[in-house]
Structure 1
Amino acid sequence: MRVRLFLLLSLLLTACAAPQVRPPGAIRKVVVVVGSRVDALPTNSYREDLMGEGNPRTVLSGQTQAVLRERGFDVVGVRISDAPAPATQEVVSLIRENGAEAAVVVVLNWVDVTVIQALGRADVILESGLVSPSGQLLWHKESRTATTIGMYQSQTDHSSYLRKAIIQAVNEIP
């Protein structure tokens, strides 16, 4: 009985762990700007449509903020760009409006979900970057992710593959 209680307590403490702390001198205060060349994600349920999970920009915005906060970043502003890729001036103005040190820009370029229900696999291409207040590109990476999700999840939660790809891409930001 004590062993079970100890295991349960240790799992609970692990789940409630504090977010990471950014190293001294590292960029901490950021804004998030997202764009998408994909107009809509395939959805499978009314809940996904109602929660906005069929809109890739909504999923990009929410998941990027969550991952950045877990990594110790202070997200002080968010903009969902109407353009497929946000303009530099749009990014710079958001940085200045919010007194941020940089902007994290994430753009969804391509999604292939043709085999998601059969194999539980989706291919996602994301571009992520870090932009300074002067508009200079500090870091950039295009990532192609082949996400595999469980069969049940592939039939009930179509946006989970996109969330996994975002987590992987945003975790690479320095």
Structure 2
Amino acid sequence: MRTFLLAAVVMLAACAGTPRRSEGSPARVVVLAAAVASKPAPRGLIGNVFGGGDEPRDVVAREAAEALRSRGYSVLGVETTLGPGASVEQASAVARQYQADATVVLVLTRLDLSSIQPLGQAEVELQSMVVGPDGRVLSSDERRATTSERLYRARTDWRSHVRQAVIQAVRELP
């Protein structure tokens, strides 16, 4: 009985921590990610080993799709684009192509890792936009987040900071 109660409390706490998508908001979306910020050089042993070929736009796309799914969105596709991001026309064309309710555009505009080693912090700037297939902008925001991680890997791997900033941005979407 105690095990069941403990499991129920853990599941309720997990569900309470993740905001669900709002009623009436687009349910079927496509993620379109870009990054103006360049890929940082690997730092330390962990950064060298796990640095891989991840580009910032790939990390933004992957983490945005996962965060949207956890909020109850149905992610029909994930695309990345080179350059400063997609225009409203491009985003609406992608939504039409996938027959989605909207395209969620996330652009990593700045990644400052100057405080990552001493403090475990990074400054991440993201622009977000939700565009319907008809070209209507349903949501638009620019956010600056100071992320902090205590794990050793986070002090050497920029991806965990981008992940945290993307999750925060997705939580604020309708």
Scaled by the length of structure 1, the TM-score of the pair is: 0.84
- Partners of 1:155 and 1:11 lie apart in 2 by 32
What is the match of residue 9 of structure 1?
7
- Are the aligned partners of 2:88 and 2:137 in contact in 1 as well (CA < 8 Å)? no
- Partners of 1:65 and 1:37 lie apart in 2 by 19
Q: Does 1:64 align with 2:75?
A: no
Unaligned runs of 5+ residues in structure 2 are none
Unaligned runs of 5+ residues in structure 1 are none
- Partners of 1:11 and 1:88 lie apart in 2 by 43
Matched residue SS, 2:168:
helix
What does residue range 73-88 of structure 1 map to in structure 2 within 5 Å?
A: 73-88=73-88
Shift of residue 110, structure 1, vs aligned partner: 0.6
In terms of mean alpha carbon deviation, does 23-32 or 38-47 score higher?
38-47
Letter in 1 for 2:84: P
- Partners of 1:16 and 1:119 lie apart in 2 by 28
Describe the superposition over 1:18-77 as per-residue Cα deviations: whole angstroms up to 9, x where unpaired. x87645433101111111101213433244332x43x11111001100111111111111
What is the match of residue 132 of structure 1?
132
- Partners of 2:41 and 2:167 lie apart in 1 by 20
- Partners of 2:168 and 2:21 lie apart in 1 by 18
- Are the aligned partners of 1:34 and 1:105 in contact in 2 as well (CA < 8 Å)? yes
- Are the aligned partners of 2:31 and 2:103 in contact in 1 as well (CA < 8 Å)? yes
What is the match of residue 150 of structure 1?
150
Q: Report the count of equivalent residues.
A: 170
Letter in 1 for 2:39: A
- Partners of 1:38 and 1:158 lie apart in 2 by 12
Deviating 4+ runs (over 6 angstroms): none
Scaled by the length of structure 2, the TM-score of the pair is: 0.84
Q: Does 1:43 align with 2:45?
A: no
What is the match of residue 170 of structure 1?
170
Shift of residue 112, structure 1, vs aligned partner: 0.7
Kindly, what percent of the aligned residue pairs are identical? Answer: 33
Letter in 2 for 1:38: A
What is the match of residue 103 of structure 1?
103
What is the match of residue 116 of structure 1?
116
What is the match of residue 32 of structure 1?
31
